[in-house]
Amino acid sequence: MARLRKGISVNGKRIVVWCVVLTVLWATSAVHAATTIRGYDPKKHDRFYTGGDREFIGESFDWSGVGKTSSSGSWATMVSPKYFLTARHAAPGYGSSITFYEDNTRDHSHSYTVDSWTYSPPHYFYDHYDLCLRRLAGDIPDEDNITYYPVLALESDSEYIGMEIYVHGKTDRVGRNIIDRIRYRTLATDPYTAVHAMEFDYDDPGVGDDECRTEGGDSGGPSFAICNNSLALVGTHAFSSGDNFVPYHIDELNANMGTHSLTLCVPEPATLMLLLIFGVMWLVWCRYKAAL
């Protein structure tokens, strides 16, 4: 009978090598599974950057109502003192704790527990839309200084096309993009989940080096438009560079928020005119590129 060799066998060595390779790949993907920004610069795009050369692009806005669970990184965007929106496929679980920060430092944090109640808008043919409404176990106290966001409310989907948005994603990065289209689709990962989608391509730096796309780990995070100089929610991330289009669901969300309701932001006349001009310029630019 052949004598057994001391140490690890050839097959054992192969297993060890593959374990090392897989571990490295996992670690690498974990590091890079964050919002991709064309000209990523920590001092510009990281909410909690602490260097003296800080130039955060979202500094003038209130991000305190965007929170996440410490365990899974699931996102929550507050739309009332108690209710928050996220993506159904990445919603924080019952009993999980969501942490929010009062400002753009980590000095003043507050954590709240997620209640068992949940609502996802139903769809006629598919199971549900990917948008998910959940609530905390209690209202956030005013003294905690955690905001909640209005939803941008325009007359038609076409008015959103060409609008600039601020996209918040994993590792608390913030980039910008332009809304390219709004359409219905289903998630490739779940054929029973529908999305009334707001899409923003990563193909042309119309917003300079801030142009971004969403990646793994960003699901459920928010996209905001600027309405009357403040952040107004338009989407929650559902797939790469595509969101659940929140304004489409305003009525049914309000019908399921009990004594709470969404606050709606309607741009002031001067802002509407600027948005219209910007939208027309964007369409002209798109047609010009297509003609080249």
Q: What is the pLDDT along the chain (292 residues), one digit of tens a residue?
A: 443 333 444 444 444 333 333 333 333 333 334 689 999 999 999 999 999 999 999 999 999 999 999 777 889 999 999 999 999 999 999 999 999 999 999 999 999 999 999 999 999 889 999 999 999 999 999 999 999 999 999 999 999 999 999 999 999 999 999 999 999 999 887 888 999 999 999 988 889 999 999 998 899 999 999 999 999 999 999 999 999 999 999 999 999 999 999 999 999 875 445 555 555 554 555 555 555 6
In 3D space, the residue among 244, 236, 124 whose CA is nearest the CA of residue 184 turns out to be: 244
Q: Which residue has the tokens 């920590």?
A: 42
Q: Are 175 and 181 in contact (CB under 8 A)?
A: no
Residue 9 inside a domain? The answer is no
pLDDT at 38: 94
Integer Cα distance of 113 and 120 in angstroms = 19
Residue 18 inside a domain? The answer is no
Pairing of strands 36-37, 212-213: antiparallel
Residue 148 inside a domain? The answer is yes
CATH number for the domain that contains residue 127: 2.40.10.120
Q: Are 102 and 145 in contact (CB under 8 A)?
A: yes
pLDDT at 191: 82
Residue 136 inside a domain? The answer is yes
Integer Cα distance of 92 and 164 in angstroms = 28
Q: Are 67 and 220 in contact (CB under 8 A)?
A: no
Rg of the chain (C-alpha set): 22
Residue 141 inside a domain? The answer is yes
Integer Cα distance of 279 and 277 in angstroms = 5
Q: Cα separations (Å) of 280 from 9, 24, 285?
A: 68, 48, 9
pLDDT at 32: 37
Classify residue 159 as exposed, middle or buried by CB count within 10 Å of its CB (0-12, 13-18, 19+).
middle
What are 104's two structure tokens?
A: 């753009």
Integer Cα distance of 46 and 57 in angstroms = 9
Classify residue 220 as exposed, middle or buried by CB count within 10 Å of its CB (0-12, 13-18, 19+).
buried
Residue 35 inside a domain? The answer is no
Q: Tell me how many domains the chain contains.
A: 1
From its phi and psi, is residue 7 left (phi > 0), alpha (psi between -120 and 50) or beta?
Answer: left
What are 266's two structure tokens?
A: 């309607």
Residue 4 inside a domain? The answer is no
Pairing of strands 173-178, 181-187: unpaired
Integer Cα distance of 130 and 88 in angstroms = 5
Residue 201 three-state SS: coil
Q: Cα separations (Å) of 38 from 43, 55, 169, 212?
A: 14, 16, 14, 6
pLDDT at 189: 77
Residue 37 inside a domain? The answer is no
Give the pTM.
0.81
Q: Are 100 and 66 in contact (CB under 8 A)?
A: yes
Q: Are 267 and 226 in contact (CB under 8 A)?
A: no
The pLDDT tens digits for 55-74 are: 999 999 999 999 999 777 88
Pairing of strands 128-129, 190-199: parallel
Helix (H) or strand (E) holding 290, with range, is helix 269-291
pLDDT at 216: 87
Supply the range of the domain harboring residue 99: 42-291
pLDDT at 279: 53
Q: Which residue has the tokens 């800080």?
A: 54
pLDDT at 19: 39
